[in-house]
Structure 1
Amino acid sequence: ADGSRGLPLKAHAPWEPVVPAGSSQTILVVGASGFGRPVREAAHRPERFCELAGCAPGDVAAPELVACVIAAEGLATRVLVNQADTDELLARARELARRLDVPAVAGSLRAGRLVELCG
């Protein structure tokens, strides 16, 4: 687990996450509630997020920017988009998954519902 100070999105510092030697998978958790919000409000380490995504802190955290950060970090072998509690958030999760080169699922862990997405 890797803390994001309760925010739905995160850009990792260069030294994190610490992945144990021999690990074969890393699952990146993305909070769908961050989509549509300004990066400065939705992301832990917004300056790093903007550096990786090529955006400004006031820009909206759209799926394409989140995909840029995920690709630039190269940390994930799979992505779980949590908090996709509405049809609109699920649609944004699908848009994110189309831009990834790793498998992704989305849904709501609270509701116990997950949907496999492309990727």
Structure 2
Amino acid sequence: MAPLLAVIGAGGKTTALRCLLPHLTGQHVLLTTTTHIYPLAPPHTRLLLTDPTEPALLDALRVPGAVCAGRQAEDGKLSALPTALLEAARRTADLVLCEADGAHHLPLKLHRADEPVLPPQTDRCLIVAGLSAWGQPVAQAVHRYALHPRWAHDPVLPVGAEEILFCIHETAAACGLPPRQVRILLNQADTLLSAAQGAALAERLTAEGFSCRAGSLQQEADALAAWILAGISAKD
């Protein structure tokens, strides 16, 4: 069964998935979603399949390269494959990458009880949080901010270290996996100030037992991708 890496949170999930693909050349990779995702078509992937049959998807996965697949959804997005088809794909692929959350393009997120939508037997969960939230009002930076009672009462509260940590801790709890199966990426450390802020947060999260990095997927894609994939990029 192919290992499955799920990506949740906010502030760069799809970018993270796109950055992983060049590091998987020669492997049989399925890129999909349990929620909704804008499809990654060639040249980012080898092939894009919409509403594939099981024979078509499995045949595609027998050829090296990344296949992006899902069911047709609104606004040009893809939605989740049927569970049985995803399981069949895991028996054929070397690795499955799955976007398992949505954040309406905001850098942070809180979750309803039915979120995130991790596939069964997820091997690793990458939590992404966007440092661009720092200093913004929670109402403008946090998807579903009103799930936090104080933030609902004070939507102009500026995001700082404690607010970012709260979102990350809430996301880690929502995913339900032990820290050893979780990677936390503090993305959007694109300036000296945001890099310093991210490094301080990463130190705190590392002390809690998480594998955490602060960095920029725009500037450090290769190094961050290697860290995300370490130990999971080969079929068991």
TM-score, structure 1 as length reference? 0.81
Instruction: Tell me the residue number matched to 1:108.
Output: 216
Aligned length: 113
- Residues in 1 aligned to 2:191 and 2:137: alpha-carbon distance in whole angstroms: 19
Distance 1:95 1:62 in 2: 12
Distance 1:95-1:57 versus aligned 2 partners, 3 A rule: farther
Q: Indicate the structure (1 or 2) with the bigger Cα radius of gyration.
A: 2
Alignment partners' CA distance in 2, 1:70 and 1:106: 13
CA contact (8 A) 2:109 2:143 kept: yes
Structure 2: how far apart are the matches of 1:95 and 1:26?
22
Task: Note the residue ranges of structure 2 that are not aligned, 5 or more in a row.
Answer: 1-98, 228-236
Q: Which amino acid aligns with 2:166?
A: C
What is the CA-CA distance between 1:57 and the residue it aligns to?
A: 1.9
1:21 alignment partner, SS class: coil
Contact 1:85/1:107 (CA < 8 Å) preserved in 2? Answer: yes
- For residue 21 of structure 1, what is the aligned residue in structure 2? 120
User: Counterpart of 1:26 in 2: which secondary structure?
Assistant: strand
Runs (4 or more) in structure 1 with deviation over 4 Å come to 113-116
* Equivalent residue for 1:43, pick from 142, 157, 177: 142
Matched, 1:92 2:200: no
RMSD: 2.1
Contact map agreement 1:67 1:99 (CA 8 A) in 2: no
More helix by share: 2
Residues in 2 aligned to 1:11 and 1:111: alpha-carbon distance in whole angstroms: 27
* Paired residues of 2:103 and 2:109 also in contact (CA < 8 A): yes
The TM-score, its normalising length taken from structure 2, stands at 0.43
Unpaired stretches in structure 1, ≥5 consecutive residues: none
C-alpha distance in 1, partners of 2:168/2:115?
Answer: 13
Asked if 1:69 is matched to 2:177, the reply is no
What letter corresponds to residue 35 of structure 1 in structure 2?
A: W
Is 1:29–1:81's contact at 8 Å kept on the other side of the alignment? yes
SS of corresponding position for 2:195: helix
* Closer, same or farther: CA 72–109 of 1 in aligned 2, 3 Å: closer
Identity of aligned residues (%): 35
Give how far 1:45 is off. Answer: 0.8
Query: Contact between 1:64 and 1:96, CA under 8 Å: does it hold in 2?
Result: no
CA distance, structure 2, for counterparts of residue 37 and residue 110 of structure 1: 21
Counterpart-to-counterpart distance in 1, 2:163 and 2:141: 12
